[in-house]
Each structure stands twice: as structure tokens, then as C-alpha cells.
Amino acid sequence: MCAAHDEIDQIHESEKAANMRIEDAQKKARKIHEGADEEAKMIIKAAEREAKDTATRMLSDIESRKVEIESSVFKETEKRIKKIQDSAQKKRDDAYQAVVKIILGEA
Amino acid sequence: MTNIIEIINSKTSVKEKEILSEAESYKTQKLNDARTKGKEVATAITKKAEMASHAEVSRYEASAKLKSKYQLLDAKEVLIADVLSSARTHLEELVKKKAYEKTLEKLIIDAAASLEERNLEIAAPKGHTSNIDLKAIEAAVAKATGKKTTFSISKEEVRATGGVIVRNKESTRWVDNTFEARLERFESEIRDTISSILFVTKEKKE
């Protein structure tokens, strides 16, 4: 009878220990879950932060791009104006004589 | 009894493993999802910035090109103005020359042909009427129009560099052939002519 009690007690102890192990495992699992949730949030935030930095760089690069455009268009315009002026200079006399003819009714 | 305890321990170990394994799977999945989500968020942010940047640069480029176009037009306008100024100088010089007589004659004939009146009056700038030979003009007009027309010189002095105003006696119909009036009347043709001479290249003409 006493031996049987002891055995039942041992089984109870084992069950108790088993429950505690399961509880511990569940605690660990919860921590893993919580850690994973936190880490996931950090991953998203980090990606977001990095992308925002990239976006800021992109937008600040616009100013230098604008300067490039301004300079390139200005140079091209100056070149074209010079070309037009040089070409027009050669035809200036023809042009004003044509105007005179129109005004004098000779055209 | 030992057997029962072993079974309990064994089952507990299995359960433990299951719980932890599920947690690890959850973690792996959660982190994978987070990385995917992170990439999506990053792509959306950079794409938006890229588009904004592209749009801003395009707007600026278009604005710079438009500005350039205006600068070209301004430069052309200066050249046109220069030609017009030379033409005016030429006309100012012309009125002092003998050839001006022929010019006046031509302008009077041109006006008379348009008016088709028998009696016409000529008004010219101060001192210019001395260049007008009425007989010669009447003969030239008769030859040009086939009709006899009588001309007289008005006492009115016209404010102009040169040219004439020709009108009927009642002053109800007239042709203003002063240089200034012709310049204004033919402005569009004059500007087109200057532009086509100065700015149209041979390649474009073809």
C-alpha cells in the first residue's frame, strides 16, 4: 500500500515536472514570438528608414541635376544664338534692302 | 511505474519540442514576411521619390528649354530690329537724294491706281513737294491706269520721313503711302521677309 502511494506520488511529481517543462517551453515560445514580432518591426522600420534616406538623397540630388540642366541648356542656347547671329550678319544687307524695297513699293 | 514516468517524460519532450519548433517556425515566417514587407515599403518610398524627382527634373528641363526658346526669340528680335533700323536710316538718307523723285512718283502712281479718281491731291512732308513733277506724274498715271487724272499739291505738311498721302478732293478716300504708314501696313510681310532671309537656312528651305 505504501509502495503504491509512493509510485502514485512519483507519477504526480513527474506530471508536475512535465507541466512545468511545458510551461517553460510555452514561456520560451512566447518570448520567441515576442522577439520575432519586435525584430520584424525593426526590420520594416530599418528598411523604411533606409529608403527614406535614399529618397532624401534623390531629392537633394535634384538641385545638382537642375544646375547641370541649366548649364547645359544655357551653353547650347548661347551656341545657337552665336550661330544665328553669325549667319544673320552675312545676310543683313540683303534683309534691309528687301525691307526698303517693300516700303518703297518696289518688291 | 518507471515506464509511466518515462512515457510522461518522453511525451513532455515531444510536446516541448513541438512548442519550440512552432515558435521557431513562427519566427522564421515572421522575419521572412518582415523582410518582404520591408522591401515593399522601401520600394514604394524610393519609387515615389524617383517619380517626384523625375517629374521635378522634367518640369525644370521643360522650363529651361522654354526659357532658351525665349532667349533665341529675343536674339532674333534684336537682329530684326537692327535690320529695320538700317532700313530706316537708308530711307532717311534716300529723301536727300535725287532717286527720291522716282520713289515718290512710284508711290503716287501706286496710290492713284488704287483710288481710281479723276482729281487727286498729294500731301507730302515739309520740303518734299519740290521733288514732285506733277506733269510727269499725270503722264505716268495715265500710262499706268489708262485714265487721265489731275493732281494738285496740298498745303498740308505730312509728318513723316518720306512718302506721300494721296487723296481725293473731298478727303473721303485716301492712300497713306508715307514710309511710316507703309512700314506699319506691311509690318507682317516685312518681318516675315526679314526672318526668311536671316534665319531660314538652305536645308530648311528645301
Q: Which residue has the higher pLDDT, A7 or A95?
A: A95
Please, are residues B69 and A73 in contact by the beta-carbon 8 Å criterion? no
Residue B126 and residue B155 in contact, taking contact as beta carbons nearer than 8 Å: no
Predicted confidence (pLDDT) per residue in A38-88, tens digit = 999 999 999 999 999 999 998 889 999 999 999 999 999 999 999 999 999
Which string of DSSP letters, residue by residue, matches B88-116? Answer: HHHHHHHTTSTHHHHHHHHHHHHHHHHH-
List the single best residue of B21, B197, B203 to mutate versus A (max A Cβ within 10 A): B197
pLDDT class for B1, splitting at 50, 70, 90?
A: low
- Spatial separation of the C-alpha atoms in residues A12 and B88, rounded to whole Å: 123
**Residues of chain B contacting A20 with CB distance shorter than 8 Å:** none
Q: Which residue of B has its CA nearest to A69?
A: B61
Give tens-digit pLDDT for B140-196: 999 888 889 999 999 999 999 999 999 999 999 999 999 999 999 999 999 999 999
Residue B125 and residue B143: Cα distance in Å, rounded? 26
The whole-angstrom separation of Cα B2 and Cα A86 is: 111
pLDDT for B206 equals: 41
Residue pairs between chains A and B whose CB atoms are closer than 8 Å: 202
Give the pLDDT band (50/70/90) at residue A94. very high
Question: What's the complex ipTM?
Answer: 0.79
Interface with chain A: mutation pick from B2, B10, B12, B56, highest number of A CBs within 10 Å? B12
Q: What was the pLDDT predicted at A42?
A: 97
Chain B nearest-CA residue for A65: B57
Measured between CB atoms, which of B57, B86, B107 is closest to A96?
B86
B-proximal residues of A, 6-25, CB under 8 Å? 7, 10-11, 14-15, 17-18, 21-22, 25
pLDDT for the residue B56:
93
pLDDT tens digits for B30-66?
999 999 999 999 999 999 999 999 999 999 999 999 9
pTM: 0.77
Pick from A10, A69, A102: which is nearest to B186 by CB?
A102
